[in-house]
């Protein structure tokens, strides 16, 4: 795991190079390397976190034996040892996967090498013979890669912070990107917060020609190639599917166990992380180091469950209990950790867990990706049931209900529903339920099921009122999403939508930046290429049974630990934002959302924001998600 940065154009002074590479030192604290061709005006810099071959033989930028290719690389090629076995009569100079990648490029060429490698990666390759620079990002988007023109320089980097240190950087914030940010807490590829700077999409490679300055972006892997018609579905029994999936997970974990530095795993106590840890422990000759964090608030605390599972599996378990003060200390650093506005509130516990884990190991396996591939989110079932009821109701009836709901207040709905809350199960006793009911009523007239889902997962349906400039923006996911796939399977349609949007733009961003800020490498076994391609060929019945998702994963996990240790309601990895904004974060929130300051900056509608903040602070409404988006943006803006 490392950090890379480079550019074609101007400014190659040592002082400039040093300032830029130091901005990525957290991604690579162990070593620094540079390669500059002054005649061609190209510079490649690299910060190294040594994982495989920790000697100087693995230093980057690395030049191929023929001197044709120069490589800067961030990530891991998990099958690089298998690739080496297929290469005969070559004298290896190191045991690093960087050298494996370079030799592959020389033997097979660019596209064939991409087809062979499995892993998480973002890398740049300069081809001296063709005078072309190639930028490549892994299939799912585990590793980040930004690029773009700034003045007369074409710059690329693992993180925005390195680009902002370049003398040519133009600090132009893209207003229209805020439309997506305040709806979904993130800025999706291929966009960034700054004009002129993009993220390379997952499964893509970019070609930059030094002579013509032309840029071309192409896909080398597309999940739609593995989404089958009925004839292509997995043909075996449920038992066959379970056995094959278990073998694939075992193979993935086995490859991702390879490390020349201490390795462990995150263990939340949920199904996904427990499955990874159980299989990891079954393959290890000694107790695996596992890590979890706990909270004083029982509604957010999974640590006791994680401890029970760790005890059963006999791992070397480490847990850290944090209080509100510990969490609040992290908040001022969010803008620095994430480079651009990012406001999934589970970013904070993820960072704290990463910092705690790094004290013991350098590599940690995680259970991310299981929900999107195997139907783990509760919202899939809820949205499917809701659409079933909505779509059976005539559109004119739904329009009447929607228009009528516009005259209702959340306070009125809360009052009407309060008598029945006493009889509801605890997990349905939602405070301020009126807001949720109104949100549902306002989207009741949607005509397509995916439109319903996108409204359900958004933070607000009043984005136009929230923004100072009404620059409508539609996420790239909408432009690239193939609505014809899974046309009659709404749940799979939601899953693939999340796989293409929520997973790379939220989950994997949160994980990469939080861990790398602590110089910790995280690996995600569920996102192995073979598992992904197999998962999309499975019938929905292999994923969801009754009211529970991850059917096959549950069955596999039950072979390693008792069902009683993991069968419980799903719990998010979050923090009690609503009460904190009213309590310990109150003054901070009021200061950042100052009406005059918002008016001078020109990003948000100050009067509307003031209304939301006052309603939330008074307890009249719960606007925690929207306010957190605004607060994170304002905090980032203040630091940038």
Residue given tokens 């940038």 in the structure block: 640
Q: What is the DSSP string of 410-423?
A: HHHHHHHHHHHHTT
CA-to-CA distance for 157 and 146, rounded, in angstroms? 5
Rounded to 5°, the CA angle 630-636-640 comes to 145
Please compute Rg for the chain using Cα positions: 25
CA distances from 555 to 311, 348, 372, 490, 608 (A): 20, 32, 18, 24, 49
Q: Is 469 helix (H, G, I), strand (E, B) or coil?
A: coil
Paired with 136 in beta bridges are 123, 205
The beta-strand segments (E) located in 436-573 are: 521-523
Task: Convert 6-26 into a string of H (helix), E (strand) and C (coil).
Answer: EEECCCCCHHHHHHHHHCCCC
CA-to-CA distance for 361 and 357, rounded, in angstroms? 6
CA-to-CA distance for 336 and 332, rounded, in angstroms? 8
Q: What are phi and psi of 340, to 5 degrees?
A: -135, 165
- Close Cβ partners of 594 (under 8 Å, ≥ 6 residues apart): none
CA distances from 14 to 3, 36, 43, 70, 331 (A): 18, 11, 11, 20, 34
- DSSP class of 38: T
Paired with 389 in beta bridges are none
CA-to-CA distance for 166 and 196, rounded, in angstroms? 14
Please say if 542 is a catalytic residue. Answer: no
Paired with 43 in beta bridges are 7, 36
User: Among candidates 188, 137, 145, 520, which has minimal Cα distance to 344?
Assistant: 188
The beta-strand segments (E) located in 257-385 are: 263-266, 289-295, 316-322, 363-365
CA-to-CA distance for 65 and 411, rounded, in angstroms? 71
CA-to-CA distance for 269 and 310, rounded, in angstroms? 9
User: Among candidates 313, 316, 301, 311, which has minimal Cα distance to 268?
Assistant: 301
Catalytic residue selected from 2, 43, 339, 542 = 2
Residue given tokens 């950090």 in the structure block: 3
Catalytic positions: 2
């Amino acid at each position: 795991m490392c950090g890379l940065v480079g550019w074609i154009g101007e400014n190659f002074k040592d002082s400039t190079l040093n300032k830029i590479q130091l901005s990525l030192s957290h991604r690579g604290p162990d070593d620094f390397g540079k390669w500059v061709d002054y005649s061609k005006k190209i510079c490649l810099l690299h910060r190294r976190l040594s994982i495989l071959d920790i000697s100087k033989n693995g230093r980057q930028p690395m030049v191929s034996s023929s001197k044709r290719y120069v490589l800067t690389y961030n990530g891991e090629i998990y099958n690089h040892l298998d690739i080496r076995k297929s290469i005969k009569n070559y004298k290896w100079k190191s045991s690093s996967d960087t050298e494996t990648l370079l030799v592959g490029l020389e033997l097979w060429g660019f596209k064939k090498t991409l087809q062979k490698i499995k892993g998480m990666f973002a890398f740049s390759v300069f081809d001296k013979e063709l005078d072309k620079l190639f930028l490549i990002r892994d299939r799912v988007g585990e590793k980040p890669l930004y690029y773009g023109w700034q003045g007369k320089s074409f710059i690329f980097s693992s993180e925005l912070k390195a680009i902002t240190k370049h003398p040519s950087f133009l600090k132009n914030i893209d207003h229209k990107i805020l439309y997506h940010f305040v709806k979904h807490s993130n800025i999706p590829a291929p966009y960034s917060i700054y004009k002129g700077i993009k993220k390379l999409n997952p499964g893509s490679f970019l070609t930059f020609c030094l002579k013509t300055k032309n840029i071309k972006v192409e896909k080398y892997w597309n999940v739609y190639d593995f989404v089958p018609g009925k004839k292509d579905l997995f043909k075996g029994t449920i038992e066959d599917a379970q056995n094959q999936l278990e073998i694939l997970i075992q193979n993935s974990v086995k490859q991702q166990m390879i490390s020349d530095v201490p390795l462990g795993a995150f263990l939340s106590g949920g199904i996904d992380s427990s499955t990874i840890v159980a299989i990891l422990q079954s393959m290890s000759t000694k107790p695996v180091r596992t890590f979890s964090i706990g909270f004083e608030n029982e509604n957010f605390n999974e640590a006791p469950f994680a401890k029970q599972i760790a005890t059963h599996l006999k791992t070397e378990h480490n847990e850290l209990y944090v209080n509100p003060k510990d969490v609040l200390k992290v908040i001022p650093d969010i803008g620095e950790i994430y480079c651009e506005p990012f406001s999934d509130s589970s970013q904070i516990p993820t960072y704290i867990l990463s910092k705690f884990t790094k004290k013991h190991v350098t590599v940690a396996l995680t259970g991310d990706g299981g929900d999107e591939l195997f139907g783990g989110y509760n919202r899939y079932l809820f949205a499917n049931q809701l659409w079933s009821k909505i779509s059976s109701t005539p559109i004119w009836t739904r329009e009447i209900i929607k228009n009528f709901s516009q005259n209702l207040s959340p306070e009125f709905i809360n009052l009407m529903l309060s008598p029945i809350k006493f009889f509801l199960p605890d997990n349905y006793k939602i405070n301020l339920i009126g807001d949720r009911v109104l949100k549902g009523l306002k989207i009741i007239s949607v005509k397509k099921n995916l439109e319903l889902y996108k409204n359900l997962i958004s933070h607000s349906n009043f984005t136009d009122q929230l923004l100072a400039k009404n620059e409508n923006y539609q996420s790239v996911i909408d432009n690239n999403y193939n609505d014809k796939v899974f046309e009659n399977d709404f749940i799979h349609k939601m899953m693939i939508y999340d796989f293409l949007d929520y997973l790379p733009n939220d989950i994997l961003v949160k994980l990469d930046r939080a861990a790398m800020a602590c110089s910790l490498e995280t690996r995600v076994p569920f996102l192995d290429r073979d598992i992904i391609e197999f998962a999309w060929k499975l019938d929905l019945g292999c994923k969801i049974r009754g009211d529970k998702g991850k059917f096959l994963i549950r069955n596999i996990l039950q072979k390693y630990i008792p069902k009683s240790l993991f069968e419980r309601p799903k719990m998010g990895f979050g923090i009690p934002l609503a009460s904190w904004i009213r309590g310990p974060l109150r003054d901070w929130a009021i200061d950042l959302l100052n009406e005059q300051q918002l008016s001078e900056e020109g990003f948000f509608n100050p009067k509307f924001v003031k209304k939301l903040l006052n309603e939330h602070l008074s307890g009249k409404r719960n606007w925690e998600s929207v306010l957190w988006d605004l607060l994170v943006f304002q905090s980032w803006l203040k630091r940038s």
